[in-house]
C-alpha cells in the first residue's frame, strides 16, 4: 500500500506538468487519417498500429492495440478490491448497489462493458457515480484523483506495467467519446492518461 501511495504522489507530480495535445482525425476523400496515416485499411478494417501510433481497441489488429485496452484482462487490487480489468472499474462505478458493483469487478473484456445493462441507474442524469456506496461527482477533482489511483494500482500488475514501459509510440483511442457527459472516461482522458503513464515509466527502461 505504501508503494502505491508513494508512486501515486510521484505520478501526480509528473502529470501536473505533462502536456498532451489532442489531435483531431482528418477526413480526406472520404477516408480517415491521423497524423497523415490511414486509420482504416483497404478492406475497411480498423488499423491498430503503424510506425507513428497505436490506436487502442480490444478488437483491433496488433498486440499493443489489444493489450493496452481497458478491456484486456489484468488482475490487480484497488482499495482492497480485486479487479479483473480496468474496464470493470469504469463499469462497476455505474452501480449504486455495493454487492452488484463487487460482482461487476470480476468481469473483463467485452463482458464488463455489456453488464452495464444490468443496472437500473443512469449516471448521465445526475453526473453521480459510486465507489462502494459513496457518491462521487463525475466532474470533480475527487473523481480525477480516483482514476489516477486506479491506474497506479493497475500498473502494479507486471504485465500491464511492462507493456506501457516498452511502448515507443503515441497511444491514441479514436473510437472514444469526447465529452464527459457521454462517458466516464473520454478519449482525451484515456489518451492523456496512457501517454503520461508511458512517459512516467520511461525511467525504468533498460
Span 2-204 CATH architecture: Orthogonal Bundle (1.10)
Give residue limits of the domains in the chain. 2-204
Of the listed ranges 36-45, 110-119, 124-133, the one predicted with least confidence: 110-119
Mean pLDDT taken over the chain = 93
Mean pLDDT of 110-122: 80
- Of the chain, the percentage scoring pLDDT greater than 70 comes to 100
Q: Is the pLDDT of residue 1 over 80?
A: no
Whole-model pTM? 0.94
CA dist., res. 111 & res. 99, Å (int): 18
C-beta separation of 86 from 78 below 8 A: no
Q: What is the pLDDT of residues 29-69, one digit of tens each?
A: 889 999 999 999 988 899 999 999 999 999 998 899 999 99
Tens digits of per-residue pLDDT, 17-33? Answer: 999 988 889 999 889 99
Q: How far is CA 52 from CA 55, 64, 170, 200, in A?
A: 10, 13, 7, 19
- pLDDT tier at 206, thresholds 50, 70, 90: low
Confirm if 62 and 50 have CB atoms less than 8 A apart. no
Amino acid at each position: 500500500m505504501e508503494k502505491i501511495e508513494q508512486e501515486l504522489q510521484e505520478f501526480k507530480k509528473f502529470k501536473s506538468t505533462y502536456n498532451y495535445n489532442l489531435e483531431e482525425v482528418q477526413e480526406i476523400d472520404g477516408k480517415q487519417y491521423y497524423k497523415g496515416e490511414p486509420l482504416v485499411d483497404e478492406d475497411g478494417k480498423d488499423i491498430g498500429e503503424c510506425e507513428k501510433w497505436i490506436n487502442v481497441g480490444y478488437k483491433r489488429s496488433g498486440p499493443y492495440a489489444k493489450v493496452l485496452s481497458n478491456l484486456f484482462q489484468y488482475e490487480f487490487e484497488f482499495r482492497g478490491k480485486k479487479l479483473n480489468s480496468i474496464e470493470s472499474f469504469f463499469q462497476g462505478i455505474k452501480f449504486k448497489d455495493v454487492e452488484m458493483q463487487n460482482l461487476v469487478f470480476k468481469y473483463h473484456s467485452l463482458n464488463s462493458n455489456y453488464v452495464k445493462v444490468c443496472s437500473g441507474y443512469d449516471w448521465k442524469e445526475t453526473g453521480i457515480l459510486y465507489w462502494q456506496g459513496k457518491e462521487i461527482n463525475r466532474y470533480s477533482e475527487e473523481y480525477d484523483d480516483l482514476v489516477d489511483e486506479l491506474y497506479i494500482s493497475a500498473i502494479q500488475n507486471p504485465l500491464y506495467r511492462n507493456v506501457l514501459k516498452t511502448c515507443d509510440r503515441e497511444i491514441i483511442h479514436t473510437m472514444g467519446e469526447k465529452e464527459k457527459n457521454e462517458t466516464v472516461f473520454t478519449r482525451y482522458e484515456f489518451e492523456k492518461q496512457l501517454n503520461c503513464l508511458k512517459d512516467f515509466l520511461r525511467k525504468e527502461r533498460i
